[in-house]
Amino acid sequence: MAQLHAKQAKQDALAARLAGLDLPKGGWSAQARGAALARLSDMGLPGKRDEYWRYTDPAALNAVAPQPSDALRAETPIFTGKDKVRIVFVDGVFDAAASDPLDLAQVEITLLSQADAQDVHWAKPLYGTLEAVGQTPVPRPFAALNTAAAQEGLLIRVTGKAPRPLHISYRQTSNTSDVMLHHCVKVEDGAALTLLETGIAGARSNVVMEVQIAANGTLHHIRPQGRAHGKHLLTHIFARLAQNALFKSFTLSMNGRLTRNEAVIEFTGHDATAHIAGSAVGDGNFHHDDTVFVTHDAERCESRQVFKKVLKNGAVGVFQGKILVKQGAQKTDGYQISQALMLDDDSQFLAKPELEIYADDVICSHGSTSGAIDENALFYLQSRGVPKRAAQSLLVLAFLAEAIAEIDDEALAEDVRARMEDWLARHEGK
Amino acid sequence: MLEIKNLHVKLEEEDKVILKGVDLSIAPGTVHAIMGPNGSGKSTLSYVLSGKGGYVVTDGSATLEGVELLEMEPEARAAAGLFLAFQYPVEIPGVGNMTFLRTAVNAQRKARGEEELSAGAFLKVIREKAKALQIDAEMLKRPVNVGFSGGEKKRNEILQMAMLEPKMCILDETDSGLDVDAMKLVSEGVNALRGAGRSFLVITHYQRLLDHIKPDFVHIMADGRIIKTGGPELALEVEENGYADIVAEAV
Ligand SMILES: Nc1ncnc2c1ncn2[C@@H]1O[C@H](COP(=O)(O)OP(=O)(O)O)[C@@H](O)[C@H]1O
Ligand SMILES: [Mg+2]
């Protein structure tokens, strides 16, 4: 009875949500959108009782209208020292004037809204496909909703080694913007790209990125999500890796009322590598959730999850991470660490690390810890003349270092580190 | 330089009195040694002077060049010229040794209203001082004390001292865990810093170290008090007979 009731509530929430949306009919994407809608009708929107939403309340994401964000503050640009091709979305709408020409050697870049009208497009078999695969064993309704309803996104096809990074820059100008973007990234055999994703897409954003990396392909993804406090943000990365492929994704989260970053990674070719890492810092009204699901379905692949959170004044951190090693995925190397540094007694870290292993010759490890600043280290630094606050910042940065070290490009890593230092300086003391 | 008067200290967490009236006066340019049985309060004295938390001063005072130390933050004491070489140097994963030292040196310079050292100038100085202590570039790059051997940690303490050029140096069992060669290296490092009015308080169990770093005065500490003071010959007496007689005599 209670279950029936919960199911009905999920359906009702979905009906209300869909009624509030202007669903695009789509050109070639119509079929994928229709299928997503069918999947979604089956699932309904998440409820608080769903195991997968135990630590994070989906209410603000379910709501028909987004909660208005705080007064908008301009985000300081990051990665300014890098020569890159920048594409700007303002409240989810492509801004041609602010963007560079969509012109990057070895990379085809199209807007979803424009491509959809074409008869044939390489993205057709990809759009919504990895999202659909990622619905088992755990349903991810908001990702299906995104496939069905996204008005815009980028379709990025990498055919060789891109000489410069591609930069997706989000800007928010309305404190009620409700944004859904759906990106597809296809990295062909031996091709390579660095993809930067910065800023906040809207007051409430739902961003899906489907990533398919062919043999020997490489994708580096670095994503500082912007520091607005009022944002509600949900992202999904669905990545599928062929043999020898490399995918490294790093996310920096500062502030935000609700952020949930999901990554669903699947190894289908042998000897591939995926590293998913993140640093999150929150002070006060902050809820940050990293939810990761890695499926090893091929031999000798390496997956690594490194998540670090710094929490204070009642901030909440969540980590749900799973490594699934299927039968036959021998010599899998799976590593997972999630750690929280609590700067006071008011904050909370909820972690659910999981391993599910059906192959016998694998190395998998996971660890989850939460703790305070090491008082002995703090005193040691002070006794050398480093002022307490600076010493604290140094130790916080040291705590985050393992995650930031997942960024291969030293200049980009340095920019991320500087962002962290800025944040720490602003949030020193109580 | 350092004046300690009637210092009484208890633990913050429990009602345990550790220092029960310590008096010690260290003149500029002198070397004092403190010896004493384990648990007599030697490390506590060094911690309280440098400002570690967890202790409560219930009576007495400690001044450095006339300035009351016990009210100051640890970093202010360091900037005022106090340095403690830790008995157990702390490992700090994620903070590079070099970054740590540069941050410390410049923080102190800043606190004293001096100009910060440029990266180049700093590098030049540290290379030279590290070389004398046989600390290689690799060790400077590694995180502070992480994976260092006991001897490496102690040499790293002396390197910090050499870089920070304090006025009042406290060395807490810097010799423990060192082999003969390392002890020589460390002693040379310390001796190189002698002069210029710099004072030392050397806590040790062994006469050995005092062969290298010649003290002007030797104090015996037991049960939270300095129970005997003498010249270098007092250390020899301890080496021969242990503390038992001295302690018994003091009661
Ligand atoms: N933080 C502390 N907590 C509990 N006991 C302590 C603490 N610090 C010192 N003590 C106790 O105080 C006494 C003196 O210790 P310490 O100063 O380390 O002696 P020493 O360095 O002379 O060996 C010992 O009995 C020790 O156990
Ligand atoms: Mg001791």
For A170-213, the pLDDT digits (tens) are 999 999 999 999 999 999 999 999 999 999 999 999 999 999 99
Closest CA to A153 of A315, A16, A32: A32
Of how many residues is chain A composed? 430
First-residue to last-residue Cα distance in chain B: 30
Considering only A78-92, A186-200, B132-146, which range has the smallest mean pLDDT? B132-146
Ramachandran region, residue A92 (left: φ > 0; alpha: ψ -120 to 50; beta: rest): left
Q: In angstroms, rounded to a whole number, what is the distance separating the alpha carbons of residues A402 and A309?
A: 12
Q: Is B107 at the interface with chain A, CB within 8 A?
A: yes
CB-CB under 8 Å, B108 with A385: yes
pLDDT for res A340? 98
> Domain residues of chain B, as ranges?
2-95+166-250
Q: Is B53 in the pocket of ligand 1 (CB under 6 A)?
A: no
Residue A241's φ and ψ, nearest 5 degrees, are -115, 130
Q: Whole-angstrom Cα distance, residue A201 to residue A211?
A: 19
Residue A2 has pLDDT above 90, yes or no: no
For chain B, how are helix, strand and coil distributed in percent, rounded to 5? 40, 30, 30
Task: Give residue A18's pLDDT.
Answer: 94
With CA atoms as reference, the chain A residue closest to B160 would be: A384
Taking residues A283-295, report their average pLDDT: 97
Under DSSP, the state recorded for A161 is B
Q: What strands, in cross-sheet order, belong to the sheet with A246-254?
A: A93-94, A85-90, A166-171, A192-199, A218-224, A246-254, A273-283, A302-312, A333-342, A363-371
**Per residue in B90-115, is it b (16+ CB within 10 Å) or e — as a string?**
bbbbbbbbbbbbbbbbbbbbebeeee
Determine the distance separating the centroid of ligand 1 and the alpha carbon of A224, expressed in angstroms.
Answer: 47
Q: Token pair of A354, please?
A: 């999981």
State the pLDDT at residue A242: 98
| Structure confidence at residue B175 (pLDDT) | 86
Are A204 and A17 a contacting pair, CB within 8 Å?
no
A376–chain B nearest CA distance, Å = 7
The first and second tokens of residue B37, run together, are 């049985």
Residue B176 pLDDT more than 90? no
What element of type H or E holds A194?
Answer: strand A192-199
Which of A377, A387, A401 lies nearest to residue B90, judging by beta carbons? A377
Task: Tell me the torsion sign for CA atoms B90, B91, B95, B98.
Answer: positive
At A55 the three-state DSSP class reads coil
pLDDT for residue B251: 65
Question: Cα separation of B61 and B6, whole Å?
Answer: 7
Between A322 and A5, the more confident residue is A322
- Residue corresponding to tokens 């049985």: B37
- Beta strands A246-254 and A218-224, pairing class: parallel
Number of H helices, E strands in chain B: 10, 12
Please tell me whether the interface predicted TM-score (ipTM) of this complex is above 0.85.
Answer: yes
Contact between A215 and A133 (Cβ < 8 Å): no
State the average pLDDT over residues A383-410: 94
What SS3 string covers A67-129?
Answer: CCCCCCCCCCCCCCCCCCEEEEEECCEECCCCCCCCCECCEEEEEHHHHCCCCCCCCCCCCCH
- Residue A253 in tokens: 């989260």
Comparing C-alpha atoms, which of A19, A39, A232, A13 is closest to residue A144?
A39
- Does residue B41 have its Cβ closer than 6 Å to ligand 1? yes
Q: What percent of chain B has pLDDT over 90?
A: 63
From CA A290, how far away is CA A306, in angstroms rounded?
10
Please give the residue of chain B at the shortest CA–CA distance from A382: B75
CB-based contact A282:A309 (threshold 8 Å)? yes
Strand partners, A352: A320
Q: Is the CB of residue A339 less than 8 Å from the CB of residue A366?
A: no
Distance A331 CA to ligand 1 centre (A): 50
Which pLDDT belongs to residue B240? 84
**Token pair recorded at residue B163:** 């870089």
Q: What percent of chain B has pLDDT over 70?
A: 100
The fold for domain B2-95+166-250 equals Rossmann fold (3.40.50)
- Lowest average pLDDT, out of A207-221, A239-253, B84-98, goes to B84-98
Alpha-carbon distance B239 to nearest alpha carbon in chain A (angstroms) = 32
Closest-CA residue of chain B to A380:
B90
Does residue A359 contact residue A329 with C-beta atoms inside 8 Å? yes
Of the candidates A179, A29, A195, A180, which has an alpha carbon nearest to the alpha carbon of residue A114?
A29
What secondary structure does DSSP assign to A288-350, as a single string?
Answer: EEEEEEEEE-STT-EEEEEEEEEEETT-EEEEEEEEEE-TT-TT-EEEEEEEEEESSSS-EEE
- Give the tens place of pLDDT for each residue, A341-374: 999 999 999 999 999 999 999 999 999 999 999 9
B44 lines ligand 1 (CB under 6 A): yes
Q: Which residues contact A378 (CB under 8 A, 6 or more apart)?
A: A388, A391, A392, A395
| pLDDT tier for residue A3 given thresholds of 50, 70 and 90 | confident
Cis ω on the peptide bond leading into residue A137 (within 30° of 0)?
yes
Torsional sign, CA A415, A417, A419, A425? negative
In A, residues 374-393, which contact B (CB 8 Å cutoff)? 374-377, 379-388, 390-391
Say if pTM beats, i.e. exceeds, 0.80: yes
List, in sequence order, every residue forming a beta bridge with B232; answer none if it has no partner: none
pLDDT at A32: 97
Residues B164, A401, A237: CA angle, nearest 5 degrees = 165
Asked whether the beta carbons of residue A384 and residue B78 sit closer than 8 angstroms, the reply is yes
Nearest to A385 among B91, B95, B107 (CB): B107
**pLDDT the model gives residue A1:** 53
pLDDT tens per residue across span A268-278: 999 999 999 99
pLDDT class of A73 with cuts at 50, 70, 90: confident
Residues facing A204 on adjacent strands? A178, A232
